[in-house]
Chains A and B, each alone.
Chain A
């Protein structure tokens, strides 16, 4: 019986250990999107623009928007 109570008490006391640590330090600064993805995920970057080049990134998005969502470019 004692062991059961002890096990229950330990389970309750250690329940908080499963929570992820919070780093509440106000709003963090975000890396601008035009800096692109580096490292493992960089293979998913769309081709045709250079990472860190803001003008090229903006042009890439505008071109993608026109080509992908403005069908009047193709039908007319």
Chain B
């Protein structure tokens, strides 16, 4: 079920009402109801893959209990390894098997030894990368004794299948979300309003920013070899906004929806395009995944300890693995590698933690240095997004070839079209509000910043913009494919 669909618009209030009014009295029945609602939500897309989510849940729930029962370090290690193997095995079969087989086949064919292993051609289950990482986080946290294993299979399944963040995150840490399923939840009206506002902001970002950009981006990237450099540059910049609007919009709706049910999810995006360097960008983009890799891969590898070689090695591993997490293709691997390269000079110069605060804090406008930093970070991110968006490597190279040609200095196609005017209007609203609220959780969290009548005017204005300009064709969320 898509968040921006009529199905979800009907599903959400019904589930909300039943959750608080009918099942609100008892924690166990409330969790059971949430689990049932989450199954409906996921099954709406394809009920057959519910079995896979349950398989992952059963494995990690059982591993968690076994880990709790044993003190023997070797046995605990084996149990954790079993969980990792099962989860990564599921991910490997459904997401990566065909990629490896295709590349093996091609490599052996090049060597004159065609092996012709068959690919599986299976459908990628929606959200598989998200929920497998979430269940793995549970097993690791129990192994590290950061949390106790839960005996309650319903609460655990509800944690894995929790519908607001099941298919595209935020990838919650068990230590943060699991306890919320174990304690009584009270309805707080201020939280509910806050959740509703965040849902509205997420819808704005998805429907108005991402979907309007998508139309232009799709046209350009469908035949990049035919486009001028300026058109490709504009298309790439618009893709940067599209993917931000799409994914952070989804996260906002997920977090807002969870708030309606009394849950707090982690912030997943913290205004990444206001970052002054690439290190800051990666602290602000897809935070739940970056911190997952930091906690469960980077630090166990040694993190920033050891010599420069180890720091560089660890950082590159994280970025390449992160790229591969997004998709089984060379494009994503190169995208990850390129971002790793951006990161290296900052690590080597020990400047990767120089921009930790909010940009231009306490000021209306950034300094020239800050503005320059933000612009260069955005440009670097865009250069990497080319690999993320292009259909394949030759297309990505076509885009670069076009951008670095004389035609970069021409007027982009359709620059003055009505569609692009809507795109620019929505981007102006997005970045104005996000700049004003850059110290807050999301762009419409303006309490204490603007007077009430201004806030209300903005809320109604955002709704009016969605009604007036939402595109007819709704695109699915980009991150559903991961």
Q: Are A and B bound to each other?
A: no
